[in-house]
Amino acid sequence: MKFFVDTADVAEIRDLLDSGLVDGVTTNPSLIMKSGRDFFEVIAEICEMVPGPVSAEVAATTVDGMLAEAAKLTPIAPNVTIKVPLTWDGLKATRRLSAEGVKVNVTLCFSAAQALLAAKAGASFISPFVGRLDDIGVDGLELISDICQIYAQYESIRTEVLVASVRTPGHVIEAAKMGAHVATLPPGVLRGLALHPLTDKGLAAFLKDWEATGQKIV
């Protein structure tokens, strides 16, 4: 499974990149607002840091508007992925952009039917929102399972399942077991994957015993 980091905080991205575990970045208008910075400047800086896909989301809601904004965003860097909403206009824009060789991340997916349409439109990524479904009492991971199962039936589908709205490490592990290609994670969740209380307890015991030996390695 590939890990994308879901943030527009350049400092966070830089720190996580040092781990060698980040394969890409996703942003959205809310994350850009939170950064307090110019949209184009942030995307350009992230693209320079990250070799993998960097999702930049359009704000337009019409086909022509999405295509016009995509024309402004794609020249920023070769690894820009255009992020569009899963609407009819978004699907039409996806078809046009993918035909031109532009990577497209179709976002705000909440059903397997929507995911199937996005794949047929040529999306590079489909972003089903696990956490937001959980919030309304629907099992978000069941959607991931359904999409993975459907996509696996057809060799012609190249769309990658990008698990979004991830809230916990458990979401990541379950989605990985289902065969999802990518998970986009808030920085805190990505760091949380490395944590376990028994690791901390074991390390503390080892360090205490080592100190008792009075030895040094360096």
Residue 10 placed within a domain: yes
- The pLDDT assigned to 15 comes to 95
Q: Which residues are catalytic?
A: 83
Residue 218 placed within a domain: no
- The pLDDT assigned to 103 comes to 98
- pLDDT band with cut points at 50, 70 and 90 for residue 102: very high
Q: Where are the alpha helices (DSSP H) in 50-152?
A: 63-73, 88-99, 112-121, 130-135, 140-152
Tell me how crowded residue 198 is: count the other CB atoms within 10 A of its CB: 7
pLDDT tens digits, one per residue of 115-132? 999 999 999 999 999 999
Residue 167 placed within a domain: yes
- CATH, residue 71: 3.20.20.70
Domain hosting residue 73, numbered range: 2-213
Query: pTM value?
Result: 0.94
pLDDT tens digits, one per residue of 137-178? 999 999 999 999 999 999 999 999 999 999 999 999 999 999
- pLDDT band with cut points at 50, 70 and 90 for residue 57: very high
Residue 29 placed within a domain: yes
